[in-house]
Amino acid sequence: MANLRLIKFNDFITLQRGFDLPKKDMIGVSYPVVGSTSIIGYHNEYKVLPPGVVTGRSGSLGEIQYIREKYWPHNTSLWVKDFKGNFPKYIYYFLKTLDLKRFNSGVGVPTLNRNDLDTLEVAIHDHPTQFKIASILSAYDDLIENNIRRIKILEEMAQAIYKEWFVNFRFPGHEKVKMVDSELGNIPEGWEVATFKDLVNFIKEGTKSGEHLINRIYVPIDCLPRKSLTLLESKSWEEAKSSLLLFNKGDILFGAMRAYFHKVVIAPFDGVTRTTCFILRAKSSEYFGYSVMLAFQEDTVGFANAHSKGATIPYAVWDGSLADMKIVLPSKHILINFNKCISPILNFLQASYLKLNNLGKTRNLLLPKLISGEIDAGQLNVGVSINEQTV
């Protein structure tokens, strides 16, 4: 294929083991300490200048990270010490296609064997084509990041409105409403104490993989957004195994496994997930906005986590636990007015999740085709005016 040449991996880049730094010795907030899959802390010193490309060395393998600031690569990671003249962002995308998990040499703890990698023969592009590929894929990542920032702002707006109405009790007309005593403290007159299950139905519509799922998207719980900010990566329904649950567009998806990760999202499409996800559906349209915002609350996630079961992997429990969490149920006209106020934000959030999913799916389809040369980026009319360090 055009613009590709075969070389040994150790002639392409040099990977270096990260530096030891126990959690207790991390000081300050200046520089990120990059572990095998994410930033695991911050320190007042750095070891490497940007740009950086980091992957897992021990524990978790296969995750590739691109670092834009001075950083400390942790000893659980491998970082690119020498790019050998190749564009850093191209290397980042290239490594994402390698399936590094297959080079695991650990018995108990997964460990990446650099020696196996060094002798691997890889096909890489010439420098102009590397830059074009990085530019194309970076454009998608920039759009994704912009949408994530927009989602964060919208979520903060929704949270602020919720807090003003239902925590500070400064809802429209609150001046004329008397506060009365309840088991949850003082609440507005006409409101009552209820439970989470009074607002939502717990949907457990089981199914098995098959042709009937052709129009649904398979979303494993670990692909739900963490705090609703991470890209909603969807997989095809064919990947779905047993113990599956159907959900509909507009349902509330609540991550039951490791609830403290705060995986909550309004489903942007009809789909199928695993039983490690709670599917909640508002019992009436007037409950929808309030139910969504309740699921988002730190107190709700904290309650689910505090009442989790499982020693190794904690998982939340619905019946007899989260279902019976005591809540304050506002009067009907307040719920209706809140829905009118919050619905435009929630609708935009739902559309944004779908947009993120589509952008990610397109990016993920292009990535292997560009790196393999199936799509000849050298023939594409792509501008190359971006500074190398930003690509």
pLDDT tier at 334 (50, 70, 90 boundaries)?
Answer: very high
**Which stretch of 73-77, 112-116, 321-325 has the lowest confidence by average pLDDT?**
112-116
Q: How far apart are CA 151 and CA 155, in angstroms?
A: 6
Tokens of 88: 């850093």
The dihedral built from the CA positions of residue 232, 237, 240 and 245, taken in this order, carries a sign that is positive
pLDDT of residue 240: 57
Give the three-state DSSP class for 117: helix
Residues 201 and 318 placed together within one structural domain of the fold: yes
Residues 243 and 301 placed together within one structural domain of the fold: yes
Is residue 312 in a domain?
A: yes
Is residue 245 in a domain?
A: yes
pLDDT tens string 99-132: 888 877 766 677 787 777 888 999 999 999 999 9
Q: Got the DSSP string for 223-279?
A: GSPGGG-S----B-GGG--SSEEEE-TTPEEEE-BTGGG--EEE-SS-EEEETTEEE
The number of folded domains in the chain is 2
Q: What is the mean pLDDT of residues 56-72?
A: 89
Query: Which single residue is written with the structure tokens 């489903």?
Result: 267
pLDDT tier at 18 (50, 70, 90 boundaries)?
Answer: very high
Q: Hey, how many other C-beta atoms are within 10 angstroms of the C-beta on 20?
A: 9
Cα–Cα separations (whole angstroms), residue 47 to 20, 29, 144:
11, 15, 29
Residues 179 and 307 placed together within one structural domain of the fold: yes
Q: What is the CATH number of the domain that holds 290?
A: 3.90.220.20
Residues 178 and 321 placed together within one structural domain of the fold: yes
Q: How far apart are CA 85 and CA 87, in angstroms?
A: 7
pLDDT of residue 106: 64
Is residue 131 in a domain?
A: no
pLDDT tens string 252-265: 999 998 888 888 99
pLDDT tier at 388 (50, 70, 90 boundaries)?
Answer: very low
For residue 36, what are the domain limits? Answer: 4-125
Cα–Cα separations (whole angstroms), residue 204 to 30, 136, 248, 256, 291:
46, 41, 12, 13, 18
